[in-house]
Amino acid sequence: MSTYCYSNDDGVVLERDFPMGQAPATVTLEDGTEARRDFMAENAPRHAGGSCWPMEPCISSGVNACQAQELRDFLGQRGCPTEVTPDGDPIYRDANHRKRALKLRNFCDNAGYY
């Protein structure tokens, strides 16, 4: 199931779950009014202020919890101090910080910045 956003005439955004690719263009609400699918709301950042930074935590580039301090030390010694959660997940401050930290670890983000 995927989550899709719908907006009514009052501008209220609602979320509904449908199987991927099967979301209708409009849904009927409990009060009988219709809401249209809102692509802008679906693609909007989910963080306050309209920014996805800091990216916290980034579980895809995390390490085991017992290696969290090792990751902090590794990145800090190489000029890219990074906060790491107790679970071992780094918190990137901005896109440039993320790019530098991933590059130091020889990670390649195919959908990223380099």
Taking the domains of the chain in order of start, what are their residue ranges? 2-44, 46-114
Q: If pLDDT is split at 50, 70 and 90, which confidence band does 69 have?
A: very high
pLDDT at residue 55 is higher than 90:
no
111 DSSP β-pair partners: none
Q: What separation in angstroms does the CA of 72 have from each of 90, 97, 108?
A: 8, 14, 19
| pLDDT > 70: percent of the chain | 89
CATH architecture of 2-44: Single Sheet (2.20)
Give me the sign of the Cα torsion angle 47, 3, 107, 70.
Answer: positive
Q: If pLDDT is split at 50, 70 and 90, which confidence band does 113 have?
A: low
How many CB atoms neighbour CB 89 within 10 A?
A: 20
